[in-house]
Structure 1
Amino acid sequence: MKVASLLAVGWIVSCAIAPFASAEDARTVITPSEVKWGPGPKTLPAGAQLAILYGDPTKEGPFALRLKLPAGYAIAPHTHPGLEVDTVISGTVNLGMGETADRSTAKAIPAGSYFALPPGMAHFAYFDEETVLQLTTNGPWGIKYINPADDPRKTK
């Protein structure tokens, strides 16, 4: 009976440890000096920089990316098909809700802040200072501008 009990305990422990072992094998650690910035996605106005930290935002599954947005930058009213989960790393995001970019309704969201918006919620943002924003959610990520003329993919 003792051998069976020991085998059962061993099996339970190995089952409990297995998820942690596989998660550790897939770990990602990136320090600030290791962030690799490149041009922003074509879905955003020119001037943004992008760093993908984890995963692939074009595919199904979790991902994390950072956007570096220069002073004077603005993103017209838009929606996302999935949950938008953001952390302000540095600077300030001026975030407004709705289908028109009425800056008087925007709220200043400083560094260290977090916000989450449900799928389909219309919002806009502008930046008075260089700002780094981290997006951590599930893909595929997408953006749909309320006014199609605001979509940078449609400008020549």
Structure 2
Amino acid sequence: MPHPLFLTSAAAAAALIAAPGAQALDDHHVLIQSGEFEYMPGPGSLEAGAEFAILYGHPGEDGVFAMRLRLPDGFHIAPHTHGQPEIVTVISGTFHIGMGEDADIETATALEAGGFFAFPPGMVHFAYAEGETVVQLNSTGPWTITYIRDEDDPRLR
């Protein structure tokens, strides 16, 4: 069964809803200058060191959302799947994305700023950041991530 990306407790859900830059889906429009949103530590479904900013919507609820992830150099996301399509644009840095249950960076494709990928639900993949890397994830909620191996899931530690 997939684990929710953000909703590990009521307090976490309340903090996410109140996140700087988060916008309700019933807003008519959203305009955010690049320096006007703040990254927060997390989400809890990724190893420590990752940061995120919600630009639109709420990943833990039904509907569309946009989120940015800022990852430090060398950050690794172990093989996993999602229950919704994953649509990602690389904003800065280099994002190495690979397919399959073995996270071999040598088999991954290096996407630089402006690079893009879209994966259907259930596709097994992994990622590595080269240099500080920012990616923008657009999808629909509720967003889930299911690691292939339980020991790779930071929520289970």
Normalising TM by the smaller chain, what interval?
0.7 to 0.9
| Aligned equivalent of 1:76 | 78
Kindly indicate which of the two structures has a greater share of residues assigned to strand. Answer: 2
- Structure 1 stretches (4+) deviating beyond 6 angstroms? none
Q: What secondary structure is seen at the aligned counterpart in 1 of 2:111?
A: strand
Deviation at 1:137, TM superposition (A): 1.1
TM-score norm. by structure 2 comes to 0.82
Q: CA–CA distance in 1 between the matches of 2:63 and 2:104?
A: 34
What SS does the corresponding residue of 1:128 show, helix, strand or coil?
Answer: strand
Cα offset for 1:127? 1.0
- Taking the aligned partners of 1:140 and 1:92, their CA distance within structure 2 comes to 27
Q: 2:88 aligns with which of 86, 111, 135?
A: 86
User: Following the alignment from structure 1 to structure 2, what is the Cα–Cα distance between the partners of residues 58 and 69?
Assistant: 21
Separation in 2, partners of 1:123, 1:146: 9
2:47 counterpart letter in structure 1: P
Find the residue that maps to 2:52 and give its secondary structure.
strand
For residues 1-156 of structure 1, the aligned pairs below 5 Å read 26-155=28-157
List gaps (5 residues or longer) in structure 2.
1-24
Greater radius of gyration (CA) = 1
* Cα drift, residue 36 of structure 1: 1.4
Other-structure match for 1:19: none
Q: How many residues align?
A: 133
**TM-score, normalized by length of structure 1?**
0.82
